[in-house]
Structures are given as structure tokens and as C-alpha cells.
Amino acid sequence: MNIRQQMTQFLAMAYVFLSAFVAWKTLGLITNSHSPIVVVLSGSMLPAFDRGDILLLWNRDLRAHVGDIVVYEIANKSIPIVHRVLREHHTPEKQLLLTKGDNNFQDDLPLYAKNQVYLDQKADIVGTAKFFFPKLGYVTILLSENQYFKFGLLFLMGISAIISGEA
């Protein structure tokens, strides 16, 4: 393979990655969320959502309402949590929320940061779930929880590249 073909291949791959990045950032701007799409990782929201469901978030609403399904992040924890708003308190400047998983026995107070009693809508909420796509995110769960699946997929991609002569 000559240098021109290699450069063409490199530019094509760079274009694919750049297009995906621009699409992700554009969706983030439209939804006003740094993470506009999340995958449900646990069964805490059964029967509303199952593991592997993909949620599209919207964060342009000024307030969350009791019954809304929100995604929030706790300081120093990297995994977003998908739960329903159980209670809300607000002043003109601030809204505080208490959440609970539909399939959980108690509210989320033990999940919050130390000495935190409510979630701050502006600081903690990533977005409100507006649409969902069942089971489409299960590949993400398999990749993160099953090292054999991850290595098998990488192996198949490597074999595919070698067979097609693009390695």
C-alpha cells in the first residue's frame, strides 16, 4: 500500500471519528446536557426501564416535576443514576429534588453525597428522560462487564482488518 492510499485511509477514519464527535456535541447543545444519551445500567427503574435501555435526555426545562424521570450525578461518582422525582421543593431561584428508583424500597438519600439531603436541579441533574430505545444499549453493558466479550470483539475486528487487507 502506498503513502497516498494510507493517507486516504487515515483521513477517512479521522472523518468518521470527527463526524461522530460533532454529532455528539451538537446533540449536547440541542438538549443542553453534557451527556444527552445514557444507558440504564441496573434494574432499579423496572418496570419503566430495563437494563440496556437507552434514554435520550432533555435539560431545557426550568423545573423537574414530581413523577419525571431524571438522570443525576453525585460528586466524585462517575456513574449517572436514572430515577424518578419523588418530592420537590422550590424557591424562585432554586429547586431541590428527592428521587427514588421505581423498583427500590426507599428513596435515594443513601446514594447522595455525605450531608446532602436533596439534589439541586441546576447542579446535579444531567437531564430529564424524554425518549427511550429498548435494549439498544446492552452492547455497552456487555463491553463494560464482560472482558471476554470485549477481547472477542477486538479480536474479530483485528481479524477483519487483516482479511480485508486494511491492516
83 is catalytic: yes
44 is catalytic: yes
The three-state (H, E, C) secondary structure of the chain, written as one string:
CCHHHHHHHHHHHHHHHHHHHHHHHHHHHHHCCCCCEEECCCCCCCCCCCCCCEEEEECCCCCCCCCCEEEECCCCCCCCEEEEEEEEEECCCCEEEEEECCCCCCCCHHHCCCCCCCEEHHHHEEEEEEEEECCCCHHHHHHHHCHHHHHHHHHHHHHHHHHCCCC
Residue from 33, 53, 83, 124 carrying the catalytic annotation: 83
108 is catalytic: yes
Residue from 44, 50, 53, 120 carrying the catalytic annotation: 44
Residue from 50, 89, 90, 108 carrying the catalytic annotation: 108
- Residues marked active site are found at 44, 83, 108
